Amino acid sequence: MRVRVATTALGITAALLTLPACSTDTTANQPPSTTRAGTPSDRAQEKAVLSSAALESRLLNSSDLGSGYLPKPERPVPHDDVTVLGCPALNELGGDAAAGGTLQFPRTAKTSFTYGDSSSEITEELYSDSAKKLSDGVTRIYGALTGCPTYRVVSGDTPIDVASQKMPAPRALGDEQWSQLLTFTTGGQSTVVKQTAIRDGRLLVIVSGSPALVDRHLPRALAKATAAN
């Protein structure tokens, strides 16, 4: 399978998550830390589908994060053909990943920051759609990604070894939760990326980046994103 993704570690993580939601049954791959839809919060927010502009206003900003965080401007990034090897679950999804690293939901907003010496990063993505579409799409894709403990991504001429691991998700937040840890190794150097997704009604919050920063700012991101609901 060949897909088009950004060549940075975070870009590859996000772009692999853009694989279209197919009809493949992945119930067996569903992370044990995931809860299902149908809570009072689901019903209360069933009509609260937000526009991209509304989502944009709910993203974290520098003042929310505190000192030491700088916005990371989006720049055009060269995209190489990428081959995914050793992960049948990803191959079964099929299709092409959209360049730019966003899930296939029409209403979306995204922001990224660097911290300290700029070696640490944090990215927040917000999406809005029906609770079922958000739940089915994220469950399917997270199941595929974490269903392969190790696999290889060949970006252009660069092989990147990926190790994936399910992580405990904060059950007290939102209606459904997913979390994973991805380790990218290339040229003898490794980058660890934590990614946690929380669905609250028709709103999906995904925070990715350095594990400590994700754990620190996830509750704040969800609180701001859902404050006006």
Q: What is the pLDDT along the chain (229 residues), one digit of tens a residue?
A: 333 333 344 455 554 554 443 333 333 334 434 444 445 444 444 557 899 999 999 999 999 999 999 998 876 555 556 678 888 877 666 433 322 334 678 899 999 999 987 778 999 999 999 999 999 988 888 888 888 899 888 877 888 898 989 999 888 999 999 999 999 998 899 999 999 999 999 999 999 999 999 999 999 999 999 996 6
Tell me the pTM.
0.79
**Residue 49 DSSP one-character state:** P
Domain span at residue 88 reads 2-226
We report the CATH number of the domain holding residue 136 as 3.40.1000.70
Alpha-carbon dihedral of residues 184, 213, 196, 164, nearest 10 degrees?
20
The two three-digit tokens of residue 156, written as one number: 């252009």
**Residues 6 or more apart in contact with residue 189 via CB below 8 angstroms:** none
Separation between Cα atoms, residue 162 and residue 172, nearest integer Å: 29
Indicate the SS3 state at residue 61: coil
Residue 144 burial by Cβ neighbours in a 10 Å radius (0-12, 13-18, 19+): buried
Domain count, the chain: 1
H or E segment at 60?
A: none
Residues facing 162 on adjacent strands: 151, 184
Report the half-sphere exposure of 76 (CA within 13 A, side-chain side): 1
